[in-house]
Each structure stands twice: as C-alpha cells, then as structure tokens.
Structure 1
Amino acid sequence: MSTQHALSFAGFLLDPIRGELNKDGVPIPLEPKVLDLIVWLATHPGQLVSREDLIENVWNGRIVSDSAISSAINAARVALGDSGSKQRLIKTVPRRGFRFQGAVEISQALISGVTIDRPSLAVLPFENLSGDPEQSYFSDGITDDIITELSRYDELFVIARHSSFTFRGASERPDEIARALGVQYIAEGSVRRAGGRIRVTARLIDPLGGNDLWSERYDRDIKDLFEVQDEISAVIANTLVGAITRQHHSRAKSKGENSVNAYDHFLRAVELNYRMEPSKAQTARAEAQKALKLDPGFARAHALVAWTHISEASNAWADDTRTALDLAKEAALAGVSADHREPFAHAVLGWVYMWSDKAFDRGLEEQRRAVETNPGNAQFRSMLAFSMTYAGRSAEALVALDEAMRLNPYYPELFHVFYGRALFNLHRYEEAMPRLERIRTSQPYHANALAHVAACYAALGRKSDARATIDEVKRASSGYNLTHVRDFVAYAVPEEKAHYLEHLVLAGLD
C-alpha cells in the first residue's frame, strides 16, 4: 500500500505526506517517531512486523533498545485509543513482533489537498559524502534530528520523514519535489566525515520562486559524535525557522488586505512588535487582533497581544500601567486556554506573572515549561533568560543566553538587551556597556532598556553620557520615571532594584 496516499481506518485519517493523524476531523498531536511508527504499521495491515523491521524502517537502522520500541508502541496505542490489554488495532505477537489489525482503506478525502496557512517545509535526506556507505546512518541521523527539531515549531508545517525520504537521490528538480509534496520550502544538505572532523552543509530553497534563501557550512571536531549531531541539528533548525519566518514576513507585507489570513496578520504583528516603539506596539496588537477575529483559537496571537501590553507597561508607554498589566494577563491566560500545549503562550504568560503579579517563581515555571516543550528553540531560552535577569538569577541568565546564541547565530537585537542587563545586575559594567550601548541607535524608543544604558554609564562614572541617555529615555517615554521603576519594574531582589534606582538617580532620572 502506497505511503503517498491518505489512509482511513477506525474513524482515523492518516496522511503520511503531511505527517498528520486526524480523528473525526480533529488533529492528534504526535511525536514524529510515533507517527512514523503508525505509518509503517498502517501501510502493512495484517502483516507481521518484527522489531528488526521497525528498527530498519522507522529508526532507519539506528540501534534502539527494546524499551524505546515498547514506549513508541504504547504512545501509538494511546493516540489510536488502543491499549496493551485491548490491542484493538496494534496487536503484539509474543516473541515475533506486531500486527496492525485495522481495516485500512485509501481515502479519497486527502488531507494533502487542504490549504496550510503556515509555512510548509520538507527536509530531504542529507547526502553522505564520506565515501563510506556505512556512514549513511550519521547523515540520516542528522536529517532525522532536524525534522524532529523543526516539528516542535508550531509556526511550521514539516513533512513527515517517510515522505521526504522517498526522494533520496531523486532526479526530480526541487520545484518538482515541492509540488509533489505540496510544500513551499525545501531544506537539503550534505555530511562529510574525515578523520576527527565533520563538515555539514545545509541550505534552504524556495523552489517555486527559484531562490536560495540561506546556506551555511558547519565544521566541528568529533569528540562526542552524537553531541555534535544534536548541536548541528539544533543550530540548523533555529536558522531555518528564522529564514523561513523572514521570507514569510516579506510575503505577508506584500499581500493585499483581502488575501491576508490569520497567520499573515500574526507575522505582521511579530515584526512590528520587535521594533519596540509605542506606535508599533499598538499596530502590532491591532494585527494580532485581526488574526484572532479570523481564528479566535489562535493561541500565539493571544500571547502576542499580551506581549504588546507588557511592552507598554514596562516602558511606561500606556496611559495607565496597571490597566496595561491587567490586559496583558487577560490575553496571556486566553492564549494558554486556547491551546495549553503552545509553548509561546506559556513563555509570555511567564513574563506576565512576573510583571503583573510579581510572582517570580511561577513565572519561571511557565518559562521552563516552554523550554521543555521545545528544548532546541533559541527564542524560548532567551525569553527565560529575560525573566532570570529580573528574578535575581542573572548568572544563570548569561548561561541561557550563551546557549540561545549558540543555537541561533542570527539572534535578534533584544538578546543584547537581556545580556547587558544581566551583566549590569552582576556589577560587570565594562562588559555590559558594549551590549547596552547599541540600544541607543537600534531601539531609540525602548525606554526601559535605555534607562539601563543610563544606569550603566552612571556606574562607570560617565556622567555626561548618562545624562544624555536620560534625555533619550524621556523622549522615548515621558512616563518613565523613578516612581514607575519603584512601582512596576519587576525586580525580585530588593538589593538589585535598589542598585538600579541608585544609578538612575546618579544618571539624573527624577
């Protein structure tokens, strides 16, 4: 039975090309490997499938333990409403393997025909250039890990491994592969091992537009082979997400209003939000609200509305800071309620708890939940670091930021704000200054960040620079004053807030 068709069984609809399992029209979230397992079993109904078959075809020949296979089988049964005692669909044949017992039909209602609002991507098998066919397991492992990492990003739709691997060594052009798989982007690359070094190349293609969007080469010493594999996979995944998002930002901006969907509005909102300007925050919120009008259950759009309110509160842009914080909490809770699995919603809720309620432990718990859901995501690590700089854990924040910057070499300007603030809290002013000083030109309306620049100048005894920066703070936000800092800036440790206030006074803030 071909894996290029959608399959129906027992009320389920399985689309191997899209990597989706639906029950009565409702998508069932699955880890990529569990979905691969269900695909392999469902495309071999009634056949005895041994553990060796599963290792070869689901784990691509990589050595896995019996417990790992059993865990995946159990997860597949849970997804299918089955169990080890019922074995309605997946039957264990003692000491021999497994058999899929559902009546499987090729479905005419192909999920592949549904329009996907999110950017869609296929990762083709990375080519093994080592000259040793036995090394293919490593290049395939890199590809597997990249697919797994990318599948954690809700903003992307990633084609399942079974479908993308059918194009190993294919003669088709990238645009033909993209049309066959129904995707907008293709990622491909190669792996070469020689002696104690490994070189991985990767590139992202917009095949229908005929453009190469990004390419990079990674050279590493092989000390711990699988640690290197994990690192490269995470870096490539973060960079791919960034490149695809930038491309979609451009497309969303160029669309006429009548053709803009909820995701387009969300992308417009994201770009505006990162500008850190009062008018841009308001426009970003309006775009996110347009997304919610089209899709009221869009959890990330709710979270972005909350973020805009937090920006207004932290920078004293709002007419009433307390009201802005209350609105932020309302929107953040709506995001988690809309989809409790959405890590971005939990990450923003963590900020809200800290700024609105001064609930620092609860805020960090939400932030860590986001990171645990998507551990390779540099953005969630940076958001946790942002929280740590206010929660009295600046040394840990530096570690988290170093990791985030390693995972995403093209990190945004806000990373410097977070890093500089952590160094300022640790009284490492000389190190903090180059990070913070950038804000004066890159984000001239970011009052809270500018105030930290001024405080750092004061700590270094650069009084004229400190006073000039305070003037910039007042231009950015007339409401940012000592009273605002005392009442609202979310420092968990009184000594750290006192340290900040002391240097703001020295800088000339009243």
Structure 2
Amino acid sequence: MGSTAIISFEEFQINAARGELTRNGRVVAVEPQVFDLISYLVSHPGTVISRDELIAHVWAGRIVSDSAISTRINAARTALGDDGQAQKLIRTIPRRGFRFEGTIRDAATSSTLAMAEKPAVAVLPFENISGDPEQTYFSDGMTDDVITELSRYDELFVIARHSSFAFRASTLTAGDLARKLGVRYIVEGSVRRSGKRIRVTAHLIDAIGGNDIWSERFDRDIRDIFEVQDEITSVIVNTLVGAIERQHRRTSLLKSGEAVNAYDHFLRALDLNYRMEPDKARAARTEAEKALECDPRFARAHALVAWTHISEASNAWAEDTREALDRAKISGLAGVSTNAREPFAHAVLGWVYMWSDKAFERGLEEQRRAVEANPGNAQFRSMLAFSMTYAGRSAEALTALDEAMQLNPYYPELFHVFYGRALFNLRRYDEAMPRLERIRSSQPFHANALAHVAACYAALGRLEEARETVAEVRRASAGYTLSHARKYVAYADPAEKDHFLKNLARAGLAG
C-alpha cells in the first residue's frame, strides 16, 4: 500500500499497519488474504489490476486457480457491501482484471491525524544474536509478547505484527521505517542466549525527533524460559509506556494552541494531576475538560476529571467536599458509560465508589476489572493496592504493590505513599516511616498523605516530629481537620480508622 498507513473511502477506512478494515468506525471481520486484496486494489484507485499482478502481490507469486481468485474477490465485495452485479467499488474488467471505483478521501491527512491522536509505535522483530538460528523462535516470541502487551494499552496505537515483521533485517533508517509504517516511535531489541544465561536489550527511538528515548539491558538466569520471557516482557512494556507518555507529553507542551488535540489536553491534565497540589488539580481538570470539548466520548478524560475531584475531596482542597465527591461520581460514571472497555475509567470509578459512597467491595470490583483488562499494567495494580489500604486489606496491598514494582522498576513516588499507608495500618511503623516521609519533600501539598506521616510519627512516640508534620498538613490544606478526616477519609475497617484518628489527634491535629 505504499507509505500511506491509513486510507479512507466511502464510509470505510483501511489501516494497513494494524491490518484492520473499519466501516463507520466499526471493525469489519475479514480474512488476512482478503484484507490484502482489498488493500492492494484500494491503493491503486482507477487502475486496472491484472490477475497476474494480484497473484504477485497478494499470493506472493504462488500458483492459484481462477476460482480461488474469484472467491476472494467475492469475499472482498461482501466485506465492502458490494456484489458481483452492482460492482460499485470493485469492478471486473473482462479479460483484463479488476479496478477499484471508490473515491479516496484525504489519505495522507487521515494518517497524520491518526498519529496525532495517539502515540503510534512499531515493535520491530528482536534480533537473534545468539549465533544459533534455532533461537530465533525465542526472539520472535519476545517480540510477539511485547506487541501483544503494548496493544492492551488503549492510549497507544500499536502496529500489527505482520506489518512490523515485514521489515525484519531492513536497512532503512528509523525515520524511513516510521514514515512507511505511519508511526513516531520505534522499538527494537536483541536477544542473546548462551548456556543458562539470557541477555535481552531493548531500545525506544523517537524516529521523528531523531533521538533515543530509552534503552535497557536485562541479564537473567534461565530457570523457566517462559517465566523469564514473561518477566522481561512485563518490565519492557511498562517502561516503554511510561517513556512514550513522557516524551509525548513533552512534545504536546511545545505545540501551538491550534495544533493541540484531545489527547494533548489529556496528557497535560495527567501531568498536572500527578503533582498533587490544589492549583494543579484545578488546572488538570480544565485541561481534561478541554479534551472533552474536542472529543466528548474520551472516556479517560472523563475519568481524569473524576480523579481531580477525588483529590480535592480527600485533601480538603474543595470548598465543599460533599459536592466534590458528587461531581467525581458524575464524571466517573460518564467515563465507563462512554467506553465500558476502558480500564482506566474502571480504575478511577473504583476510587469514586470508595470515597463518595464508602462502597468498598464495589470499588475493588471496578479496579479488578481494570487489572483483568490489562493484567501487565503496573498502574492499575497500584491503584487497586491503594484501595486495598483503605478497604481493610493492607497485607494484600503490599503483595499487589510488590508485583506492581516488579512490573515497573521506574515506579512513581506515590507507590511509596501507598506502601507506607499499608505498613502503618499493619502497625509496622518503623518500616512505614521511611516510605511515608518521602512525601514531605516530593508532594508538600498532599495533605492526606502528610496526615498519615503525622499519625505514624505519633504512633512511634516521636511527638515533636508529629506536631511539625501537622503544621505541614495545615499549610497544605486549611480545611484538613480532624473532623474532615473523621467524616471523609475512606476507611472500611472501623478499628483502622480509629487507629488513624487517635494518632492524628495525638499528633496535634484539631478541628
């Protein structure tokens, strides 16, 4: 299909890289060979394509009968809502071949827009450098796994395997490959297996920007080869997603106003939201709402609006905490109703149910749905663990966090908050304190987290430090009082809540 990754015609769109035919946005099920046949005809509109040419490009030169070609032509017509009598899109030219009759719409523009909406990435076949051709199955298996797991992330546009593998051992530059595949990011790697050791390297390249973003080497003993493959794949994928998101966020911040799209606004909102400051939470919500102005059905943007309201409620930044929780619920439900398959929306809705309704089991169920939809995603596992620390399941939370940190060795600072809170609930104060204390410098406006630091100091009998931290809580949020914590902090276990509140009072928090 040449260098154009997406071609639109009539109500159809062909995405060559993903091997996908859609009609009015819905995927049309077609066999791979029928898809290739449609793609080749569509990429040569108005041109008569002979049977020999079709055999050369669709059947790779293999000998096929006229009846086999006719069968595939009929299947192609059926997929396009055409038939042998109307021949509206695929016309038979007697004794010469076939001609595509449809009108192509903005082929180049569609490809550019697809790249602009989401980060587009192609994973090239990992190179087998073991010196043993038999090991190619392992390097190909590693590539397949990375593609499969990356494809679970709805925020990415991942090129299909058959398109990536078509460029095995290609001598093209990363920039040329990116243009041919219609992507910005290229992942490449290598596998060396020697005796009972295996080394996997992976690189992420911004082919448009012309720079390497991330590279890593993994050395492992081979105990169970499939276990090692799963472990390395999980780390690679979580790291790749984080690196791509950070790079794309930096790129979006450089765009002029008229070039900013829904996904750019969402990335800006996400960055602001993670800073855990009242002004930043409001700015994050503004950006997420701008994303929804561009695309009202952007489920992740709805969910992020809900998250900002939860942040305001849990930290007493909102003028009216109950109103903030009600607004969080409206946006959280909008996220899952807009796209019931979006795991991020379910993960955030889980928090909404816990903080707004104190519906802990319902909240955990929503977050389990997110993990089930993308089991290798460290973020969803950490969000579930965060909820477990409030749902009376702190021991389980530690296990879930350990798993999430193994999946993503570059985990964010909030993981320490989640971990410290679970240890505090389990009365393991000495272990909790080094984790919780980090928040004082990294997120000085995170009032609810600082309150747990103060409570932990009090539980350790370090009352002077507890009182100092309470002063930091009040500077972070004048509204975070003992009565606010009693009314709104979402503890399912009354004994755990009482433990938290008594230590907060001992630390000197009043009101």
Q: The TM-score by the shorter chain falls in which range?
A: 0.7 to 0.9
Aligned residue in 2 for 1:223? 223
Q: Structure 1: give runs of 5+ residues left out of the alignment.
A: 30-34, 46-79, 82-102
Give the corresponding residue for 1:43: 36
Residue aligning to 2:27: 28
Distance 2:371 2:101 in 1: 38
Deviation, 1:26, is 1.1
- Structure 2: which amino acid aligns with 1:334? A
For 2:182, the aligned partner's letter is G
Q: State how far apart, in whole Å, the 2-side matches of 1:140 and 1:246 are.
A: 28
* 1:206 pairs with 2:206: yes
RMSD: 2.4
- Residue 311 (structure 1) aligns with: 311
Report if the CA contact (8 A) 2:123-2:147 is conserved.
Answer: yes
The alpha-carbon deviation at position 362 of structure 1 amounts to 0.3
Q: Counterpart of 1:488 in structure 2: which amino acid? A: Y
Question: Deviations 1:56-85 (Å, cap 9, x if unpaired)?
Answer: xxxxxxxxxxxxxxxxxxxxxxxx89xxxx
Q: Structure 2: how far apart are the matches of 1:419 and 1:28? A: 42
Who wins on radius of gyration, i.e. which is larger? 2
1:174 aligns with 2:174: yes
- Give the match for residue 74 of structure 2: none
Write out aligned runs for 1:30-429 (5 A): 38-40=31-33, 42-43=35-36, 108=104, 113=111, 115-116=113-114, 117-429=117-429
Q: Which string of whole-angstrom CA distances, capped at 9 and with x for unpartnered residues, describes residues 325-348 of structure 1? A: 000000000111111111000000
Alignment TM-score, normalising by the size of structure 2: 0.84
Any conservation in 1 of the 2:4–2:182 contact (CA below 8 Å)? no
The offset of 1:44, in angstroms, is 6.9
Residue aligning to 2:494: 494
Displacement of 1:115: 1.2
- For residues 249-305 of structure 1, give each alpha carbon's deviation from its aligned partner in whole angstroms, at most 9, with x where no partner exists: 111112222221111111000000000000000000000001111111111000000
- TM-score, normalization by structure 1: 0.84
Which residue identity does 1:28 align to in structure 2? V
SS of the residue corresponding to residue 219 of structure 1 reads strand
Distance 1:185 1:161 in 2: 15
Are 1:8 and 1:105, in contact at CA under 8 Å, matched by a contact in 2?
no
Aligned partners of 1:20 and 1:27 also within 8 Å:
no
The alpha carbon displacement at 1:14 in A equals 4.1
Corresponding residue of 2:454:
454
* SS, match of residue 136 in structure 2: helix
Structure 1 residue aligned with 2:436? 436
Q: Secondary structure at the match of 1:452?
A: helix
List gaps (5 residues or longer) in structure 2.
Answer: 39-78, 81-97
Deviations 1:400-450 (A, max 9, x none): 111111111111111111000001001111111110000000000000000
1:317 and 1:370 mapped to 2: Cα distance? 28
The CA deviation string for residues 180-211 of structure 1, in whole angstroms up to 9 with x for no partner, is 11111100000111111111000100122210
Identify the residue that residue 480 of structure 1 maps to in structure 2.
Answer: 480
Distance 1:217 1:106 in 2: 51
One-letter amino acid of the structure 1 residue matched with residue 25 of structure 2 = V
Change (3 A) 1:257 1:164: same
Distance (whole Å) between structure 2 residues aligned to residue 27 and residue 254 of structure 1: 33
| Alpha-carbon spacing, 1:251–1:239, altered in 2? closer, same or farther (3 Å) | same
Aligned positions, number: 449
Measured after TM superposition, the shift of residue 10 of structure 1 is 12
